[in-house]
């Protein structure tokens, strides 16, 4: 038995470091799960907001191509959020419509969490 070779102190140390290791792994895993959940909810918002989704307008070439702009670093999150909250010319205010999307309600997201989720989805 391993235990018989180690004194009490060494065994306690081993238990503590094992606990830390498991804790760190679980934390990393839950971070990953939360990130995936946000992306999935972001996708649902993009598909469902305003009934027909953001893509009804944004998948048309003459309107801003959101994913491409974000990936190119041309649409920072604060600007993204501000357009959703205030609207901009042909872009309707979107926060009320976003908060109506089923998975957003189900997850209990705040407005800012929902906006982050769409941004994460588009950034991928
Ligand atoms: C009715 C059509 C329509 C819908 C629906 C729509 N948009 Fe837009 N959106 C536009 C138009 C048009 C613009 C360009 C506005 C301008 O700059 O004059 C725009 C601009 C934006 C911008 C600003 C882009 C930039 O470069 O500043 C963001 C961000 C945006 N939309 C996000 C969304 C998201 C997210 C959704 C879904 C929740 C959505 N839009 C739904 C028409 C729409």
**Which residue's alpha carbon is at the smallest distance from atom 20 of ligand 1?**
91
CA of 122 to the centre of ligand 1 (A): 13
- Say if residue 58 is exposed, middle or buried (CB neighbours under 10 Å; 0-12, 13-18, 19+): middle
Residue environment code for 79-94, b if the CB has 16+ CB neighbours within 10 A, otherwise e: ebbebbeeeeeeeeeb
Percent of the chain with pLDDT over 70: 93
Determine if ligand 1 sits within 6 Å of the CB of residue 69. yes
Determine if ligand 1 sits within 6 Å of the CB of residue 58. yes
Contact, 50 vs 94, CB < 8 A?
A: yes
Count of structural domains, the chain? 1
**pLDDT per residue over 39-86, tens digit each?**
999 999 999 999 999 999 999 999 999 999 999 999 999 999 999 999
Q: What are the residues whose beta carbons fall under 8 Å from the beta carbon of 18, sequence distance 6 or more?
A: none
What does DSSP assign to residue 59? T
pLDDT at residue 5 tops 70: no
What does DSSP assign to residue 56? H
Quote the domain boundaries for residue 70.
Answer: 2-123
- Quote the pTM value: 0.85
């Amino acid at each position: 038995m391993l235990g018989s070779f180690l004194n009490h102190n060494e065994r306690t140390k081993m238990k503590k470091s094992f606990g830390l290791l498991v804790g760190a792994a679980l934390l990393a895993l839950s971070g990953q799960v939360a990130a995936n959940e946000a992306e999935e909810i972001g996708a649902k918002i993009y598909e469902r907001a305003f009934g027909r989704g953001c893509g009804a307008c944004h998948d048309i070439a003459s309107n801003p191509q959101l994913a491409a702009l974000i990936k190119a670093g041309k649409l920072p999150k604060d600007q993204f959020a501000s357009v959703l909250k205030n609207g901009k010319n042909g872009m309707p205010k979107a926060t009320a419509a976003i908060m109506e999307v089923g998975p957003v309600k189900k997850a209990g997201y705040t407005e800012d969490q929902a906006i982050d989720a769409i941004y994460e989805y588009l950034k991928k």
